[in-house]
Chain A
Amino acid sequence: MNSACYSSLQKPWRYWPLLLIVGIIGLSVDGFSSAAFAQTVAPEQLNTFVVDESGPDVAEASLLPAPTPQRADYPNIGASSRSIVWVIAQMHLFFGALVLAVPIFVLIIEYIGFKAEDDRYDDMAHEFMKVSLTAYAITALFGGTLALSLFLLYPHLMGYVMRAFGSQVLVYAGLFFLESMLLYVYYYGWNALRYGNRKWIHLTLGLLLNAVGTTLLVVANSWTTFMMAPSGIDPTTGAVIGNIWEIMKGPLWNPLNLHRFIANIAFGGAVVGAYAAFKFLSAKTPAEKAHYDWMGYSSNFIAILAFLPLPFAGYWLMAEIYAYSQQMGILAMGGILAWLFVLQAVLICTILLAGNYYLWTGMARSEGSERYRWLIKYIATALILGFLVWVTPHNVIYTASEIGRLGGGNHPVLAPLGIMPAKNIAVFIMLICTFLSFQLYRRADKVITVSWQSWGNALLVAIYVVAIANVIFAGVYYGYFTNTVYKVGSSVIQVMSTVVVIVSGVVIDTLMFKGAKTLHVTWGKVSNRSQYALFALPIAFTWLMALMGYIRSSVRTHWHVYTVMKDNSPDNFIPTLQTVGNMVTLVTLLFLSFLLFIFWIADLSSTRQVPLPTGSNRARAETAA
């Protein structure tokens, strides 16, 4: 037996993740049935079906149409059912996003620390998990409350969804138990499984934790996308005719899976970044400041790196929504909900400005940053211009006198900036500029020594210049001077130009950094102002998630399950923008309040009281007497 085989047999735990994934896939593919278990019934049999061998009652139940509840069928508890579910569901989603995302990058950091044999990474990863662990219980509490609220307030809808998904919800519950156990073993076993081969066991536990967590995410996503774009049902009656896999894999499932997966990582990075900022500002010693400065930098790196590809995933989701139902797409981006995209622009620009600002101030940690400082003012100018273009609305409601003065319904100069081609140019240039800030930060503490550095630098600059020119050309020429099909198609050119900048930037820099001299970086040498940028990130992310989550859900309009089960509750209308703004702000403030509580609890767990002097209690009692 060769040594590789022997080594593999010595470490069988390395194959556990593979076995788990195979198991999950096995379960997903017809391993468990939908409650309707109507997979034996073909759609064409729907109207002729009389008796099935499994029993007439069961077979007829499987072909029940979607319920049609009337106004009186909805329980009235004296408050808006929609508002109650809105708040609870959003809180559950916030915390769910946090606790599923943090272990993903914690595992990567832990692995880097293990390979580099650097305990600092391990300590940082462990501390990130402390925040996640504290949030875990709150996630479960909101999840339970959400389930109870839905069954109480929307019993018919929940009955239908349970009929469609059947025993899959029990698999979800089982996975939740598994997730809890793995999470506790992963966190509390950290120091017991810290070095040598034991570390491999710990890393495997982390991988299993993430495999289960991601499965939980995609299972829950299937419920959401079933309500938006149902599959596996008879489109005329809503009767469940598909197996569980056909019900899960609707047209929006994978776009939403990808979008939420990436967004969760960006959100998780932003939240732990705020924790690091909180600890940095309250640190007493230079060592503590250095540790939390480094932690904040790592968090910001994770948040912005995950945020960069997010618009591409969002683009895919929106394109699939349009493809599924043009009415849905137009309502989202051309109807009343389009106004909320202006708010989205403000929030995304806040994230980009805060992320960039943090990088620029962080460059002060290294003396080598002086070489690149002159570029910051140009990046800042591009970001501000992009921001102004992005927030420019197309159709503003004017008074009669304003229309008279303008000479029409649209502003003669600003109106062209209100449509998508201009927004696309702004978005992609802002993303390219943000990546440039990252690249400058990475280069700040290095002196490149490779012989071909002039070629490498020239190629990098050329890629930036040509990519930006290409983004502007595609947006202006195809966006304003050709037909709509080319206008839409040209946005892929803009996506690819941005991707080329990012990928080539990483590749060229990695090659150029070989043998580079590394300058000293002083961690902790950063202004307090930069830490407020770390606070701005999770605030903007939270607001953004609440806002975009509302838009995604609201495109169903007056349907519980789109085109299949009507919403006849008193709340079956799209609320006013003011109501939306208030609700979104309310859930954001609520989440931030809980977050402060979590930070406080995480801090409290590492606080140890100094022992009282012997007899001090007695002495105090005597003094009082």
Chain B
Amino acid sequence: MGARTVERRANRVWTWIIAISITLLAFYAMDHLVMSMQGLPLDWDLSPAQ
């Protein structure tokens, strides 16, 4: 396996890791925002704060 192929695969893995991480973070923030706007705050682990 050539060095370029290994590098390309590593880049692809990083692309997926970054994409998934950004999306998870965005949805996590959205869950907090949506529930807070309804007067239903959440704890950091998404459990009900009230």
Q: Contact residues of A with B, CB < 8 Å?
A: 454-455, 458-459, 461-463, 465-467, 470, 473-474, 477-478, 482-483, 485-486, 489-490, 492-493, 496-497, 500
Contacts and interface: CB of A to CB of B under 8 A. Distances in A.
A429 to B, nearest CB: 15
B40 A458 contact: no
B22 A459 contact: yes
A454 B15 CA distance: 8
| 5 pairs of A and B residues whose beta carbons are closest in the complex | A458-B19, A462-B23, A462-B19, A466-B23, A489-B40
A102 B24 CA distance: 41
Interface residues of B, number: 19
Contact of B23 (A463, A474, A485): A463
Given A458-B15, A486-B48, A493 B31 contact: yes
B38 A492 contact: yes
A510 to B, nearest CB: 18
Contacts of B16: 458, 462
- Which of A455, A467, A477, A478 counts the most chain B CB atoms within 10 A? A478
Given A454-B12, A458-B15, A461-B19, A496 B46 contact: no
A470 B30 CA distance: 10
Contacts of A496: 30, 34
B44 interface: no
Contacts of A467: 27
Contact of B35 (A455, A461, A483, A490): A490
A470 B31 contact: yes
26 contacts: A454-B15, A458-B16, A458-B18, A458-B19, A459-B19, A462-B16, A462-B19, A462-B20, A462-B23, A463-B23, A465-B20, A466-B23, A466-B24, A466-B27, A467-B27, A477-B46, A478-B48, A482-B47, A483-B48, A485-B40, A486-B48, A490-B35, A492-B38, A493-B30, A493-B31, A493-B35
Contact of A455 (B19, B20, B46, B47): B19
Interface string B7-50: 00000100110111011100100110011001010000011100
A466 B20 contact: yes
B15 A470 contact: no
Contacts of A477: 46
B6 to A, nearest CB: 17
A459 B40 contact: no
A455 B40 contact: no
What is the interface of chain B mostly: helix, strand, loop, or mixed? helix
Contacts of A485: 40
A486 B40 contact: yes
Nearest to A486: B48
A493 B12 CA distance: 31
A424 to B, nearest CB: 14
A466 B22 CA distance: 10
A489 B40 CA distance: 8
Contacts of A455: 15, 19
Nearest to A490: B35
A482 B30 contact: no
Contacts of B31: 470, 474, 493
Contacts of B47: 482
A470 B5 CA distance: 35
B50 to A, nearest CB: 8
A542 to B, nearest CB: 35
Contacts of A474: 31
B26 to A, nearest CB: 8
A236 B31 CA distance: 43
Nearest to B37: A492
A142 B35 CA distance: 47
A462 B22 contact: yes
A122 B16 CA distance: 44
B48 A482 contact: yes
Residue of B12, B19, B34, B35 contacting most chain A CB atoms (<10 Å): B19
A483 B22 CA distance: 30
A490 B48 CA distance: 11
Nearest to B20: A462
A498 to B, nearest CB: 12
Given A489-B34, A496-B34, A500-B30, 8 more contacts: A459-B23, A461-B19, A462-B16, A466-B20, A470-B31, A486-B48, A490-B35, A500-B27
A459 B15 CA distance: 9
A493 B40 contact: no
A477 B23 CA distance: 20
A492 B34 contact: yes
Contacts of A466: 20, 23-24, 27
A497 B27 CA distance: 8
Nearest to A473: B46
Contacts of A470: 27, 31
Contacts of A492: 34-35, 38
Contacts of B30: 493, 496-497, 500
A489 B20 contact: no
B25 to A, nearest CB: 10
A497 B16 CA distance: 20
B8 to A, nearest CB: 10
A516 to B, nearest CB: 20
A476 to B, nearest CB: 12
A485 B41 CA distance: 11
B31 to A, nearest CB: 5
Contacts of B18: 458
A416 B12 CA distance: 41
B40 to A, nearest CB: 5
Contacts of A463: 23
B9 to A, nearest CB: 12
A465 B27 CA distance: 11
Nearest to B24: A466
Contacts of B12: 454
Contacts of B24: 466
A462 B27 CA distance: 11
B15 to A, nearest CB: 5
Given A454-B15, A482-B48, A496-B30, A489 B35 contact: yes
